[in-house]
Amino acid sequence: MIRVTQAIGLDMVAEGVETKDQADFLSECGCDIAQGFYYAKPMPLEDFNKKLQNQTKP
């Protein structure tokens, strides 16, 4: 699926990523967008906004 979406110019989002191994595997396969408990548990919008503000920018 990753190759198909890349071939037609779409972004693919992998859902349900729970471990670093899963995240690494997806990245190696070319999937650069993922979500799941590995990154963060569900949270209220206010908490999410605070988390974004506290992140360092590259």
Residue 29 has which token pair? 């396969």
Residue among 30, 25, 24, 28 nearest 11 (CA): 30
* Alpha carbon distance 24, 33 (integer Å): 12
- Residues acting as catalytic residues: 15
